[in-house]
Amino acid sequence: MADRASASIEIGGNISRSLIPDLIEAIASDGGRADWEGEPLQESDVSGGATVEACAYELAGGTFDWTEEFCEEHGLAYVRNSGSCGGAFGPERVIFTGTGAAVQFDMTESEEIVLARSMIRDLGSLEAIEGWFRLAEFVPPPFTIIEDGDEAAPVEEALHG
């Protein structure tokens, strides 16, 4: 059996209405729930102007494998916070901004981001270190629901408000 930990994930960004059931299915496949008491997420939980958060106990590696893969395939931003598994791995935060690669940050059990001395040296300047911490504070944008066949909607909204 794999080493396991509890985790939560917050997701947002531009999503086609037709992809919402697939997102909910991915979250359910990982055992994600709307709250720690076990309420399952519903399609209606994904709405424009808000993010969605899921949480789960006993995730292998502390990751939402299906959910994270789905988000990365479809450009949905997320932040995952995972607890530790004694003797196997520590707590972490993973950020995916909707593009590029996901970035991992070590945390304390109090969810404070930590930076190792070797990383400080690698980053090389105070500006780079501050930028690294700013990235660690990333919050996914609220969902914008794109009606199927209206792929230009977010661009038009950004241009015209």
φ/ψ of 37, rounded to 5, equals: -85, -5
Q: Amino acid letter at 69?
A: E
Three-state DSSP string of 61-97? CCCCHHHHHHHHHHCCEEEEEECCECCCECCEEEEEC
What's the pLDDT score for residue 36? 85
**pLDDT over 60 (residue 94):** yes
- Domain membership of residue 156 (yes or no) is no
Of 157 and 51, which is predicted with more confidence? 51
Total number of domains in the chain: 1
φ/ψ of 87, rounded to 5, equals: 80, -5
Q: What's the rounded mean pLDDT across residues 121-149?
A: 94
Digit-coded pLDDT (tens) for 68-85: 999 999 999 999 988 766
Digit-coded pLDDT (tens) for 41-56: 999 999 999 999 999 8
What's the pLDDT score for residue 37? 83
Domain that holds residue 8: 4-150
What's the pLDDT score for residue 9? 95
Contacts 24+ apart (CB under 8 A), 80-84: 80/7, 80/8, 80/9, 81/7, 81/8, 81/9, 81/107, 81/111, 82/5, 82/6, 82/7, 83/5, 83/6, 83/7, 83/109, 84/5, 84/109
- The reported pTM is 0.86
Quick one: what percent of the chain has pLDDT higher than 70?
Answer: 87
- Domain membership of residue 158 (yes or no) is no
Of 103 and 151, which is predicted with more confidence? 103
**pLDDT over 70 (residue 160):** no
Residue 54 CA from chain centroid, whole number: 10
- Domain membership of residue 160 (yes or no) is no
CA distances for 114 relative to 58, 90, 104, 152, angstroms: 24, 11, 11, 40
What's the pLDDT score for residue 107? 86
